[in-house]
Amino acid sequence: MLRLAVIVLLLANAGYYAWSQGLLRQLGYAPQEQSEPQRMNQQIRPETLQILKVNPSKTSSAAPPGSTSTPTSPSQATAANDSPAPPTTPAASAPADSAECLQAGVFDDRQAEALRTAAAGLPAGSWMLEPTPIPGRWMVYMGRFDDIETLDRKRAELRARKVDHDRAGGTLELGLSLGRFASKEAAERELTNLGTKGVRTARVIQERAEAPGFTLRLPAVNDALRAQLDVLRTAMAGKTLRACG
């Protein structure tokens, strides 16, 4: 059965080949010819057509300049990719010696004069004393008492009334301070408040009058100047330098 199928397949292939090649045309078996006679009729004087030869030298010379490019070999492309990038300009480094503004104060007239003497050896323009008036101060004061016994007795009374107090100090001894204030008005308000607590013998006094003062200012302290600031230590009367504010 398989042999018969193979024989039939071979005969079919042979028949198709004979038909497609026109071998069976005499028997009336042949593929239809594909022809387009109308295209021949549309041609205008086909006998005048000529085939010309092109001169290769003229063709190459007629090419526009720059139109040809030299091919790049793989090795050249690799070398171009591996070439180091142009060096970049390093960013400007920050100044190693940064300066800061420092100040101290407030100093009274006597302290300011001592500072002027101590700072005389510092570079010109590196320091200044800015006028900064010292405001007056007011106190709710009780005293002056005749002796320590009277002072202690008054302290006991104030503690019993839960009134805060401390020593007045300086030329106001023997006396007690019931509060210090930046203005007379604030001190008088506190005195009125203390009256509601039974305090009767206190009064408002000016502890310190307004006075001229000065602030020491060093606008640009760098490492070199900072090393010279020890000369100011004694004249600063215990005050310390701090950042300008």
Question: For 209-235, what is each residue's pLDDT tens digit?
Answer: 999 999 999 999 999 999 999 999 999
Q: Per CATH, which fold does 137-208 belong to?
A: Alpha-Beta Plaits (3.30.70)
Whether the pLDDT of residue 84 is over 80: the answer is: no
Question: Which backbone phi and psi does 165 adopt, to 5 degrees?
Answer: -160, 165
- Of the pLDDT bands very low, low, confident and very high (cuts 50, 70, 90), residue 85 is low
* Structure confidence at residue 31 as a pLDDT band (50, 70, 90): low
Are residues 234 and 119 in contact, defined by beta-carbon separation less than 8 angstroms?
no
DSSP secondary structure code for residue 174 in this structure: S
Q: Mind listing the pLDDT tens digit for each residue in 165-185?
A: 999 998 999 999 999 999 999
**pLDDT score of 57:** 59
Please give the share of the chain, as a percent, with pLDDT higher than 70: 71
pLDDT, position 56: 58
Higher-pLDDT residue of 29 and 182 is: 182
- DSSP state letter for 36: -
- Give percent of the chain with pLDDT exceeding 90: 56
Q: What burial letters (b/e) apply to 51-66, b meaning 16+ CB within 10 Å?
A: eeeeeeeeeeeeeeee
CA 22, distance to chain mean position in Å, is 90
Instruction: Round the average pLDDT of the chain to a whole number and report it.
Output: 81
- Answer whether 240's CB lies under 8 Å from 121's CB: no
Q: What strand order describes the sheet that includes 100-107?
A: 128-131, 214-221, 100-107, 242-243
Angle at 200 between CA 197 and CA 206, to 5 degrees: 105
Which residues lie closer than 8 Å to 70 by C-beta, 6 or more apart? none
**Domain 100-133+212-243 of CATH type 3.40.1190.20:** no
> What residue spans in the chain does CATH classification 3.30.70.120 cover?
100-133+212-243
CA atoms of 182 and 135, how far apart (whole Å): 7
Q: Let me know how long the chain is.
A: 245
Closest CA to 207 of 178, 230, 241: 178
Predicted pLDDT at 196: 93
What's the Cα-to-Cα distance from 166 to each of 56, 169, 179, 208, rounded to whole Å? 118, 9, 8, 17
Q: pLDDT value at position 110?
A: 94
Whether the ω angle into residue 116 lies within 30 degrees of 0, i.e. cis, is: no
Residue ranges in 21-73 assigned as alpha helix (H): 37-42, 56-61
Which DSSP string corresponds to 89-111?
A: PPPPPPPSS--EEEEEEEE-HHH
- The whole-number average pLDDT for the span 107-135 is 94
